[in-house]
């Protein structure tokens, strides 16, 4: 199944079911008011949502309309919890060099994760307001999952069974603020503004073999101001989503609607490019002794689209512009 949240006067928007080819949608409010409502009542609403999805794909759903990603908020405009990992060790090791930090202990055996803000996610076409372009504005292409309820202490296999939906993410970063925050020992805060999402959240079965072993095995195509930046594949994720969820649930329960991110998709092959500017800059330092690529400026655009082998984009596309945030009243 495929879902989107249409913007409305309500902060959580209204739930729509989207056709497999992303051409049409239908309001699902008679079944679940919002996507968070659906995830929280998954056992009760899964069957009627599936029936609505099937009728939409067959062309028989009453009240269907053309699907417009520009009308979408993030699939979950806000939720209970957002936890982001660094599950691609190639990226993490490069970032250690970027931040000039000591190697993370047990990095290859224990996932690293921070808890981000989950109260203000951005939609796929929303402008991204930021306070100062000198702060090192960077995009970060990722995959993520939305979970059902996960009990404390769940193992990776049990945790993976609680994956309800898959999402595509742009986890914005302000790189100039990161090093100081990391050195405090308290982790990221100001350097992590609101996170963006592709318009459509999907059930894992929609990916077929591209969802395997708790990994999204798709190429994540990234363009910056219309130029190719990278197309790394999610298959090289060192920790599975089951392992990441279990790590998050080691000492706490996870509420239905928790979002867990993979961290920046990164491949060892240089030919795959990168999914964030910081990684390219570190590679330039390694190769040339100094970075050449600057961070984003106001007016810049970033475009991200995960594609399967047939060229389909199951999550839709993120296409956003960075802008100066309005002055506070």
Q: What is the pLDDT of residues 190-206, one digit of tens each?
A: 768 999 999 999 999 99
Tell me how long the chain is: 329
Q: Is residue 101 part of a domain?
A: yes
Yes or no: say if 102 and 227 are a contact pair by the CB < 8 Å rule: no
Which CATH number belongs to the domain containing residue 190 in this structure?
A: 3.90.850.10
Same structural domain for residues 66 and 126? no
pTM of this prediction exceeds 0.75:
yes
Q: Which of 140, 178, 167 is nearest to 296 (CA)?
A: 140
Same structural domain for residues 227 and 134? yes
Same structural domain for residues 185 and 318? yes
Q: Is residue 329 part of a domain?
A: no
Section 40-48 average pLDDT: 98
Q: Label residue 296 by pLDDT band (50, 70, 90).
A: very high
Section 296-312 average pLDDT: 97
Last residue of a domain, one of 52, 71, 90: 71
Q: Indicate the number of domains in the chain.
A: 2
Same structural domain for residues 200 and 307? yes
- Within 13 A of 162's CA, how many CA atoms are on the CB side? 30
Helix, coil or strand: residue 125: coil
Q: Is residue 77 part of a domain?
A: no
Q: Is residue 18 part of a domain?
A: yes
Last residue of a domain, one of 71, 90, 105: 71
Same structural domain for residues 222 and 307? yes
DSSP 233: B
Q: Label residue 90 by pLDDT band (50, 70, 90).
A: confident
DSSP 177: G
Q: Number of helices (H) and strands (E) in the chain: give both, helices first.
A: 7, 20
Same structural domain for residues 38 and 97? no
Query: 260-274, pLDDT tens digit by residue?
Result: 999 999 999 999 999
Q: Label residue 325 by pLDDT band (50, 70, 90).
A: very high
Q: Is residue 76 part of a domain?
A: no
Chain center to CA of 116? 12
Same structural domain for residues 49 and 98? no
Same structural domain for residues 135 and 204? yes
Res 103: pLDDT: 79
Same structural domain for residues 141 and 177? yes
Please give the full DSSP string across 25-80, using - where no structure is assigned: EEE-TTT-SSHHHHHHTHHHHHHHHHHHHHHHHHT--TT-EE--GGGB--SSSS-S
CA-CA distance, 240 to 306, in Å (whole number)?
A: 18
Q: Return the bridge partners of 222, or none.
A: 230, 304
Res 200: pLDDT: 98
* Strand stretches in 171-245, DSSP E: 173-174, 196-197, 201-202, 211-212, 215-216, 219-224, 227-230
Q: Is residue 268 part of a domain?
A: yes
Q: Is residue 314 part of a domain?
A: yes
Q: Label residue 182 by pLDDT band (50, 70, 90).
A: confident
Last residue of a domain, one of 12, 44, 71: 71
> CA of 249: how far to CAs of 85, 117, 151, 213, 301, in Å?
13, 18, 7, 19, 36
Same structural domain for residues 163 and 232? yes
Yes or no: say if 200 and 18 are a contact pair by the CB < 8 Å rule: yes
Res 107: pLDDT: 85
Res 100: pLDDT: 67
Q: Is residue 151 part of a domain?
A: yes
Average per-residue pLDDT for the chain? 94
Same structural domain for residues 87 and 208? yes
Domain that holds residue 254: 82-324
Instruction: For residue 282, give both structure tokens.
Output: 């570190």
DSSP 326: P
Helix, coil or strand: residue 213: coil
Same structural domain for residues 260 and 227? yes
């Amino acid at each position: 199944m495929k879902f989107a949240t249409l913007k409305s006067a309500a902060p959580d928007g209204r739930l729509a079911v989207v056709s497999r080819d992303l051409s049409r949608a239908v309001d699902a409010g008679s079944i679940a008011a919002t996507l968070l409502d659906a995830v929280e009542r998954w056992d009760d609403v899964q069957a009627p949502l599936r029936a609505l999805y099937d009728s939409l794909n067959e062309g028989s759903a009453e009240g269907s309309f053309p699907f417009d990603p520009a009308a979408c908020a993030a699939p979950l405009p806000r939720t209970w919890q957002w936890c982001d990992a660094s599950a691609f060790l190639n990226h993490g090791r490069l970032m250690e060099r970027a931040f000039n930090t000591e190697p993370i202990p047990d990095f290859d055996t224990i996932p690293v994760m921070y808890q981000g803000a989950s109260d203000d996610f951005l939609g796929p076409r929303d402008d991204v307001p930021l306070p100062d372009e000198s702060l090192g504005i960077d995009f970060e292409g990722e995959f993520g999952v939305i979970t059902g309820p996960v009990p404390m202490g769940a193992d990776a296999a049990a945790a993976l069974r609680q994956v309800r939906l898959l999402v595509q993410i742009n986890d914005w970063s302000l790189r100039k603020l990161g090093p100081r925050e990391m050195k405090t020992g308290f982790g990221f805060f100001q350097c992590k503004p609101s996170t963006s999402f592709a318009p459509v959240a999907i059930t894992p079965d929609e990916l077929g073999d591209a969802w395997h072993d708790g990994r999204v095995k798709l190429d994540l195509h990234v363009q910056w101001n219309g130029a190719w930046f990278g197309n790394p594949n999610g298959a090289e994720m060192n920790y599975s989503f089951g392992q990441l969820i279990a790590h998050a649930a080691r000492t706490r329960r996870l509420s239905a609607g928790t979002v867990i991110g993979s961290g920046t998709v990164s491949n060892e092959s240089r030919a795959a490019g990168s999914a964030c500017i910081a990684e390219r800059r570190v590679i330039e330092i390694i190769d040339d002794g100094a970075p050449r690529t600057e961070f984003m400026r106001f007016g810049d655009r970033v475009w991200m689209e995960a594609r399967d082998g047939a060229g389909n984009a199951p999550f839709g596309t993120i296409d956003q512009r960075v802008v100066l945030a309005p002055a506070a009243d």
